Structure 1
Amino acid sequence: MDLNLDNLATVLTTASGKQRGAEQQAAEAQLKQWETVPGYHFLLQSVYLNTDHPLQIRWLAIICLKNGVDRYWRSTRVHAISKEEKAEIRKHFFDSLEESNDQLTIQNAHAIARVCRLDFPAEWSTVFEEIAAVLDTATTNIVKVHNMLLITNLVLKALASVRIGRARAALQNKVSVLVPHLVRLYHGFFNHWTADGNFDAASMEVGYLCLKNLRRAVVDGYEYPHRDSLVVEFYEVSLQHLQKLLLLHESSQLPLLERYIKAYVKLYANLVSDNVVAFVLMPNSYEIFMTMLSLLESKASDIYNSEENEFWEQLAIKMILVLKRLTAFGFKKGAVMLKQRNDQQEVAAAAKAATERFFPPQLVQSLVDLLITWYLKLRPADVVSWTLEPEEWVNEELQVSWEYQIRPCAENYFQDLAVCFKPQLSEFILRKIESTLADSSVDILTKDAVLAVFQLSASAISENCNFDQLFRSYFLPEALKDAPVENKLVKRRVCLIVSEWLSIQCSKETRLEVYRLVLRFLQNTDINDKVVRLTAVQTLQHLVDDWEFRKRDFQPFVSETVALVLELLRNLEFTESKIFVLKVLSLILERTNPLVPEKELLDVMAIVPAMWDESNNANEMIIKNSLMRLLRDLTGALNSNSSKAHPIVLPLIALCCDDKSDMYTLLCEDGLELWEAVVKHLPTAEPAPVELLRLFPLSVKALMNWTEILPTVLKLARSYGILNYQLYETETGLEIFKILGGYLNSMRDDAVYVTSSLLETLFLQVPDPSRSQLVANLAESGLFFEMVKYLTRESQTPNCEIKMALPLLRLLHAGPVHLLGMLGTVSDSSLAVQLAQLVDSVVNLLKLVYDAKIRKIFVLALLALYAPPIFTQYCAQDPSVDLEYQLLNSESQTGINLVLSKNFNRVMFLVTHMLEEVNENADGDCEAYHRPSSYDDDDLTLIEDQPDENEYAQEFKLPPSAEQLRFNELVFKLDPVHRVSTKQLLKYQMDQLAGIDGYQQLISSVDRETLEQLQMMMNK
């Protein structure tokens, strides 16, 4: 079907029909086909602009146009709309401003805003002039003004989202064209609907749209709004209007009236957030500030007794956020400002005003009183929710964002006040707490609020009070009272106080008392209250995760704690609270390892199957993630007994890490972490389960699909390599090597380290590289080529290149002839050239190595190059001829000999220096080779048989994992670092070299000092 206006209207009519059928599907397909035909989008606009068409057709036309702007407006898109068509569309955007249907106007406005975002200022620089012209001439046509203001609002919103680039600067340059018209219209309509007291809805709506546009224009359209006289005048008038509407609101709570009041507060809040200096320097900023304070005070009772998120609460949150921003600005003396970095005088003046004028000491104390009296208190509705829905109430307390609810917002701001005005408030807060708590007539909610003050002001008053003494003399007795049910508030608050204070001031003795108290609350003997118990778990989380936590101090409480947390978990109903308790339980297992008795660990494991089966619906599936993490930490805590978890964990790993599973996307990441823990802690005394070995091929998909956690997947692959290196002689091993070869050049440092460690552990176990299928897989996969290229490239990250050199050097030491054969196949260059680049890179990297163990690996590999049958002849070359020319134009063996002879002096220098720094025993081992270094992996460190001289000093030392034990055995059994004497090897190599032709010429290339050191070592 040809594209023309009539055909398009017909197809749109069919496509917009209510009955789905073949005709409608064909019409939709035709519209899709026309999307790339020139002129289609202009015709869509023409259909929309024609008011003779039915509403549904025009609606579909403007929706298709809006979507077409998204897909084809950019000139870089395939089938992009032509410049000529775009120009015609822009020309007619404002042709239907008398549209009576708001929804059609809004869709058109969205299309215009998106075009502005893409074309302003380059292709549509006159948009603001066009808008201003319409607003200037359409004053008497209220529908036209209304629709233009809707469009303008979305245009300003779209351009305000641009933070850098030409559009931002152009907006600030052009907005002054628009603002006078907006201010004029705002005054006209505001005066009209407020004059007669009838609250004309149409005038109110248009005036409100003017206010919304001005809010965006003032905040985002001016770099220095306080310097523009029209903006300053508008700000002064806006406060007068706000105060007028507040009085009107006392007698009439019209929704549109409340929207006006919210808009004024947003105007001030947005400017404070975006440009606090401009706000403070506005002539009436102090009056605005005091108006907000007055509202917070006068409406405090209404807010406290209202339902959540009602009108005044929303305003109070905005106003507290304004105070918070001003407080921080004054406290930091303007240091947070970036925009005014070239206007330091203004910044300093604003900071001084914020500190001295806005927040004098008396006002700050009054503000604290206000917060304590009303905004920090639990509402009666909170107590009702606590009683009726305790789990849900706690979940909201744990997850709520302080920017959206009044009490959390007030708590957050109170902490700011306590920090920023510490000298003025410290004594005041302490006196306030002391006087209120000493008054026995104080109601429980006020008492809880005062205790909240003590909790929130911890950092401010810690220097002037002794928490340990207060805990024993006041908080502990209060928490243990068998008082009425209301005392549950005190129990909860004491838990929160401990959570806040323990990182600031809390002795070992107090911690022990806290452990007992938390257990008392978890035991559920005093009061059957889930809120108290869940808050006790929250405190337990802070205690266990604290820097000063000592697991040996906690040991007497471990068994009972785990048992009680499990009991609580069984009684929970909500997904959020279950996830929270599972998280804390995992933390306990991790932080107290290895002190949790096996019985409790098995009890923890026993809850998993039932919880897994219960969490099959969509809302509870996320519990499975927490269960996987719990099993991960449980496996680590079981350690040598981890096989007892295999009946549960192995099927779950197979279920979660198979890309064909329905749970793959949601659970694979946690499944990989659990899988790694299982292999890592697989008991050494037991053979690897067949089921675990069968899982190995799944690691290929994990490497391909989970690159964001690549180090985790690589550690899993390494664990399998330590467990059974022959797995890498299979097709799966070949695939893994291919993937690693593709990743190597773009790997992050941590992934490079684990890849190197994986390959090192594999090559250590290869008895003969020339007969190893694993080494053959390395060459066939291309990984060997990528490793050589990585090592011989221009140095970018020396630490990574040193680390990646280690597996190659181990191969070189184990089979130098075979490695040279592999090296000759990695590029079109001659073997001699390849060897020259490799030796040069190794020698240069060795100069940067300070770890004795790593230096020895380098040295052993370099010495291997001078062993027969590699260096069997020496052909003297003309030293005047360029080395590269000689390499490229000589036979392979001659070229190799030339490379080695040219580097002989450098190698001998490095060998002698290395031997000077260590004192090897007869077997080639020494103490320096056992020290941990920056190149060691925390998971794979050598285990030394050293007694614990100070048991307490070993607080954080975990028992070795089974993988560490296997690695330990592997290293001491096979690693030449601990088994080959460097000095004996050097003597042997030199004896072998002495029998070749040209030996004297070779020795003569060594400088005198190095030669003397070499001869001295040879004679020892």
Structure 2
Amino acid sequence: MDLSYENLLTVLTLASGSERNADQGNAESQLKKWEVVAGYHYLLQEVYLNRELPLQIRWLAIICFKNGIDKYWRAARQFAISKQEKAQITSRVMQLLNEQNNQLMIQNAHAIARIARYDFPSDWPNLFDDIAKNLDEFVFKTNDIVSTNNTLIILNRIIKTISMVRIGRAKHAMQSKAPIVVNILIKLYQKFFQTWTTTLDLTLMEVCYLCLKNLRRIIPEGFDQPHKNQDVCEFLGATIDHLQSLVSEHDKYSSDLLERYVKCYSKLYVTLISTNPTSFVLLPCSQRIITTFLSLLEEKAEYIYNSTEENDFWEVLALKAFSILKKIMAYIYRKGAVTLKQRNDKVEVTNAIQKLSTDVFTNDLILRLCDLIINWYLRLKPSDLESWLLEPEEWCNEELSTSWEYQIRPCAENFYQDLIKYFQDVLSGFVLNKISSGLMENDSVDRILIKDSILCTFQLSSGTIANNVNFDTLLQEVFIPEGLKNDLVENKILKRRICYIISDWVGVQCSRESRVSIYKLLLNFLQPNNPINDGVVKIAAIQTLRAVVDDWDFNKHDFQPFLNEFVKLLIDLSGEMRLTESKLYIFNTLAVLVERCNPLVDYQTLIDILQIVPKYWDLSTSENQPIIKSSLCRVLKSLTVSLNENSVETHSISIPLIQTCCAETSEFYILLSEDGYDLWLALLKYCPQSRLNNPDIINLFEMIPNGLRNSTEILPTILSIVRSYALYSPEIFCQDGIIETFKIIGGYLDKARDDSYAIFIGLMDILLIENSLNEAFINGLVTSGLFISMVNYVLHEDQSAILSSRMYLLFSRLAKNSPEVFLKILEITSVDLVKFFKNWVALYNHNGNPRNRKINLLGLISVVSFGIPKNIPILYEILPEVVKKTFFFLEEINEADDGSCEAYRSNLLYEDIDEYSYLDPDIKPHGEKIRYHTLLEKNDPVYNTNLVQFLKNNILQLKSQLQDSDFNQIMALNDSYTLERLKALS
């Protein structure tokens, strides 16, 4: 079908039908085809500009038009809209300004903003001038409110879009036009504000709000130094008057629109402080803004405390007040942090900060703020107590998941932390005095709530006042006795707070003796037979237990007497808690507890924990499946590690779970594969020697290629799994299926991160010790392209010398075990032998430890002695250097007759095999460590080849394969030192 206005109308009519049918599908396909046809977007614009057409057709046309601008307006795009068509479109984008349908107008504004993003200022330099001119005409000449409203919608979208530009001239050009736009917007705002506050005309109120919304965006984005623009200063001064007026007469006006006004003023001030705090401080009205919000916090504190509404107007305003004060305090505390472009104002800034410090943030105000926060904003509200009573789990989980930016109490807590940090000298003694004198008897709910609020300040001050307080003394004399009180049901409020205090302070200041007392207290809080220990107290205790156990100074031997009882209580609680979030706290705490207490958790306790995994895996509903399953995977991993030689007990559960998490076709792959891979790695590492070659575990390897391709962000984990298989079942790497795995790994080599590269080196070292004489393995190495990727890695001119030297260790392994095969592979893969071997010798000294140097020398001696009779010239050239380096090495190392040496026991190529063992001697070696060290002891020539004898044997072999004259000629290439040492060998 050819593109024409009539045909387009027909297709749009079919495509916009309310019933889905074949004609509608064909129409949509036709629209898709027309996207790249010249004139299509111009005709779409013509359709939506025609107000005689049905709304649904115009709506579809504007949507297609807007999406087409995104895809084809930029000149560099394939099938880009031509310059002529773009000019035609741009010439009439403002023809819809009197449109009555607001939603259609918003879509039009989006389309215009996207055109402006690409064309302003180069192809549309008069954009802001034209908009300012239109606004002036609509308001002051024709009194066209609809067009004014629509123009303001368009302008707001344009400012927002261009403000996000970080590269190019658009934002800078907008700043040059900002004074023109701001001037007309301020005039409109003042005119409409005066009118609607007198007449209460909601239409004018809405239009005035759009003016304010535009000003809120363009003033922070359009001016580098707003305080130097008189119009802006006067406008901001007026806004604070208007804010005070609207707040004082809150009930007089339409509440929804009024609240949007007040929030918009607040957003303007917050954005100004965030983008340019210096300029805000220097505004003539800045002090009035600050004091206004301070007054709001004080005057509305009781109302906010007693409010039961969500997103209450005064609470939202209080959030903005805390945000403004927080940013100003930080600015004062950091002495202005003057930027380079504002250094000329340093004296002014210093004076302004001094004024704010002395006139606003006085010691008296700081103390008042602290009291205000304690008495009203940190206290649990009546609505909180009601929710706690009716739905304790729901309330607790909601409290723990709220953001400080959107809830008043978390916001007050965050603000208080800044307050105590910035004004530590003023508040430290004040807070400690509150604790010592303010913790009265628990004779009423109100007193308990105040006490909880005071204790909250102590909790939040852990990082600030630790040097001024003895936490251990307070714990024994105040917090533990308080936590053990059960005379009132409301004591649970303080039990919860004491848990949070311990969580925040245990990592700051807490002795071993105090920790033991904490274990006893937490056991008390988790007891099922105490009615005051409700769900909230138990969740708080569970979280605190995790924080204490996961702390750096945790001592598992001190914890051992309490271990089994904690585990039993946690397992019981997993059945008692109803909500997913609550169960997650339990599972995550169990995982940490098992991990940190390894190997002190007894076998039966570990088995008891293991039993809950399949139970909750199967019970989890579709809504919470992934998050519960993820936590259970972590529990199972910790159990596998702790069971160690008994980890086979987990296999019947772990293997199906790994398949569920890591199979490409699994519905949980995206969400659970990372946890699944971690579990898989633990299963392999801790599998005992007696249970090798389990076919179910071997079959899991089929999922490795997909994991390598699709999970590059956790590539080190997947490579570690492959390395574990090299020790668990080396036969896998001698089968045809390994070629794909090797090919994928080879593709990562040139851009591998250091951690992935180190694991690769360890993996290949293991495989080459085991399989370098295996023809199938060698064929896979070459056929897959992995070998040539390894060669290219070391020959790349920009490659790190240290990293390349480690790759040569792998070549040394192959050369030592089979120099004939090694040279044949180099020939097959057309390697530049001169560059390859010269590089090898040159990089020898970058091996900083004896073990790696010996591996190099064994490989070089083998390949040189075998290759010289094959008439490979470069090997003649490097022989003297190899022999000399061998003698130098032998002077440094004192090998035993069997070739062993203590210096060879460290710097293993499987770097993390001994991880943590030196930190925790209680932990037994896991199966993989045993397998690896067994492999080295039995098969690694580093341990069982005497280097002196090896050199001698190879020299004699070389002599036997050459004529005397040729051999003597080669020996003559050595220097006197080497010749003398060679004579001593014979």
User: Which residue of structure 1 aligns with residue 850 of structure 2?
Assistant: 852
- 1:321-336 equivalences under 5 Å are 321-335=323-337
Amino acid in structure 1 at the alignment position of 2:7? N
User: Which residue of structure 2 aligns with residue 67 of structure 1?
Assistant: 67
Q: 1:476 aligns with which of 477, 480, 489?
A: 480
User: Which residue of structure 2 aligns with residue 184 of structure 1?
Assistant: 187
1: CA distance between counterparts of 2:32 and 2:739?
46
1: CA distance between counterparts of 2:221 and 2:919?
58
Identity %: 45
The TM-score with structure 2 as length reference comes to: 0.96
Confirm or deny that 1:754 pairs with 2:759. yes
1: CA distance between counterparts of 2:410 and 2:194?
39
The CA deviation at 1:147 is 0.6
Q: Deviations over 1:335-373 (max 9, x none)?
A: 485764676555545554554444222211111111111
Q: 1:683 to 1:279 in 2, by over 3 A?
A: same
The CA deviation at 1:76 is 2.4
The CA deviation at 1:696 is 1.8
Q: 2:788 aligns with which of 785, 788, 794?
A: 785
Q: 2:578 aligns with which of 573, 578, 598?
A: 573
- 1:87-236 equivalences under 5 Å are 87-139=87-139, 140-194=143-197, 196=198, 198-236=199-237
The CA deviation at 1:751 is 1.2
User: Which residue of structure 2 aligns with residue 842 of structure 1?
Assistant: 840
Amino acid in structure 1 at the alignment position of 2:205? M
2: CA distance between counterparts of 1:344 and 1:853?
61
Q: Deviations over 1:531-587 (max 9, x none)?
A: 111100110111111111122221222211111111111111111222222112111
2: CA distance between counterparts of 1:152 and 1:1009?
85
User: Which residue of structure 2 aligns with residue 923 of structure 1?
Assistant: 898
Are the equivalent residues in 2 in contact too, given 1:271–1:279 (CA < 8 A)?
Answer: yes
Of 924-933 and 579-588, the range deviating more from structure 2: 924-933
Q: Deviations over 1:784-808 (max 9, x none)?
A: 1111111122142334323322222
Of 155-164 and 538-547, the range deviating more from structure 2: 155-164
Q: Deviations over 1:205-251 (max 9, x none)?
A: 11111100001010111111112121111111111111121222154
Of 984-993 and 262-271, the range deviating more from structure 2: 984-993
Confirm or deny that 1:938 pairs with 2:941. no
Amino acid in structure 1 at the alignment position of 2:578? E
User: Which residue of structure 2 aligns with residue 800 of structure 1?
Assistant: 803
User: Which residue of structure 1 aligns with residue 503 of structure 2?
Assistant: 499
User: Which residue of structure 1 aligns with residue 30 of structure 2?
Assistant: 30
- 1:423-442 equivalences under 5 Å are 423-438=425-440
Of 846-855 and 409-418, the range deviating more from structure 2: 846-855
Are the equivalent residues in 2 in contact too, given 1:235–1:284 (CA < 8 A)?
Answer: yes
User: Which residue of structure 2 aligns with residue 452 of structure 1?
Assistant: 456
Q: Secondary structure at the match of 2:60?
A: helix
Amino acid in structure 1 at the alignment position of 2:660? L
The CA deviation at 1:505 is 0.9
Q: Secondary structure at the match of 2:14?
A: helix
- 1:355-370 equivalences under 5 Å are 355-370=357-372
Are the equivalent residues in 1 in contact too, given 2:162–2:170 (CA < 8 A)?
Answer: yes
Q: Deviations over 1:300-342 (max 9, x none)?
A: 1111111232111111111111111112222222348576467
Amino acid in structure 2 at the alignment position of 1:249? H
Q: Deviations over 1:755-788 (max 9, x none)?
A: 111111111112x62x521111111111111111
Q: 1:960 to 1:352 in 2, by over 3 A?
A: farther
Confirm or deny that 1:910 pairs with 2:885. yes
Q: 1:1016 to 1:443 in 2, by over 3 A?
A: farther
Q: Secondary structure at the match of 2:78?
A: coil
Amino acid in structure 2 at the alignment position of 1:133? K
User: Which residue of structure 1 aligns with residue 947 of structure 2?
Assistant: 982
Q: CA RMSD in A?
A: 2.1
Are the equivalent residues in 1 in contact too, given 2:633–2:675 (CA < 8 A)?
Answer: yes
User: Which residue of structure 2 aligns with residue 465 of structure 1?
Assistant: 469
Q: Secondary structure at the match of 1:697?
A: helix
The CA deviation at 1:1008 is 4.5
1: CA distance between counterparts of 2:573 and 2:839?
61
The CA deviation at 1:440 is 6.3
Are the equivalent residues in 2 in contact too, given 1:673–1:712 (CA < 8 A)?
Answer: yes
Q: 1:317 aligns with which of 307, 319, 323?
A: 319
Are the equivalent residues in 2 in contact too, given 1:565–1:581 (CA < 8 A)?
Answer: yes
2: CA distance between counterparts of 1:741 and 1:395?
47
Are the equivalent residues in 2 in contact too, given 1:940–1:967 (CA < 8 A)?
Answer: no
Are the equivalent residues in 1 in contact too, given 2:851–2:907 (CA < 8 A)?
Answer: no
User: Which residue of structure 2 aligns with residue 48 of structure 1?
Assistant: 48
Q: Secondary structure at the match of 1:308?
A: coil
The CA deviation at 1:485 is 0.6
User: Which residue of structure 2 aligns with residue 410 of structure 1?
Assistant: 412
The TM-score with structure 1 as length reference comes to: 0.92
Q: 2:605 aligns with which of 597, 600, 608?
A: 600
Q: Secondary structure at the match of 2:250?
A: helix
User: Which residue of structure 1 aligns with residue 246 of structure 2?
Assistant: 245
Amino acid in structure 1 at the alignment position of 2:148? V
The CA deviation at 1:754 is 1.1
Confirm or deny that 1:817 pairs with 2:814. no
The CA deviation at 1:600 is 1.3
Amino acid in structure 2 at the alignment position of 1:938? D
Are the equivalent residues in 1 in contact too, given 2:819–2:863 (CA < 8 A)?
Answer: yes
User: Which residue of structure 2 aligns with residue 521 of structure 1?
Assistant: 525
User: Which residue of structure 2 aligns with residue 712 of structure 1?
Assistant: 717
- 1:946-965 equivalences under 5 Å are 955=920, 958-965=923-930
2: CA distance between counterparts of 1:152 and 1:82?
26
Q: 1:652 to 1:440 in 2, by over 3 A?
A: closer
Confirm or deny that 1:640 pairs with 2:615. no
Q: Deviations over 1:987-1016 (max 9, x none)?
A: 33344455643444444433445655x459
Q: Secondary structure at the match of 1:481?
A: coil
The CA deviation at 1:285 is 0.5
1: CA distance between counterparts of 2:803 and 2:726?
21
2: CA distance between counterparts of 1:861 and 1:347?
69
Are the equivalent residues in 2 in contact too, given 1:551–1:955 (CA < 8 A)?
Answer: no
Q: 1:972 to 1:204 in 2, by over 3 A?
A: same
2: CA distance between counterparts of 1:300 and 1:338?
40
User: Which residue of structure 2 aligns with residue 2 of structure 1?
Assistant: 2
Q: 1:439 to 1:559 in 2, by over 3 A?
A: closer
User: Which residue of structure 1 aligns with residue 257 of structure 2?
Assistant: 256
Q: Secondary structure at the match of 2:463?
A: helix
Of 586-595 and 6-15, the range deviating more from structure 2: 6-15
Q: Deviations over 1:118-137 (max 9, x none)?
A: 22223222211121111121
Are the equivalent residues in 1 in contact too, given 2:200–2:253 (CA < 8 A)?
Answer: no
Are the equivalent residues in 1 in contact too, given 2:440–2:447 (CA < 8 A)?
Answer: no
Are the equivalent residues in 2 in contact too, given 1:632–1:674 (CA < 8 A)?
Answer: yes
Amino acid in structure 2 at the alignment position of 1:630? V
1: CA distance between counterparts of 2:543 and 2:98?
59
Are the equivalent residues in 2 in contact too, given 1:700–1:732 (CA < 8 A)?
Answer: no
Of 35-44 and 306-315, the range deviating more from structure 2: 306-315
Confirm or deny that 1:966 pairs with 2:963. no
1: CA distance between counterparts of 2:183 and 2:87?
28
2: CA distance between counterparts of 1:860 and 1:351?
71
Q: Secondary structure at the match of 1:75?
A: coil
Are the equivalent residues in 1 in contact too, given 2:549–2:593 (CA < 8 A)?
Answer: yes
The CA deviation at 1:622 is 2.4
Q: What is the number of residues matched between the two proteins?
A: 976
Q: 2:859 aligns with which of 855, 861, 873?
A: 861
The CA deviation at 1:156 is 0.6
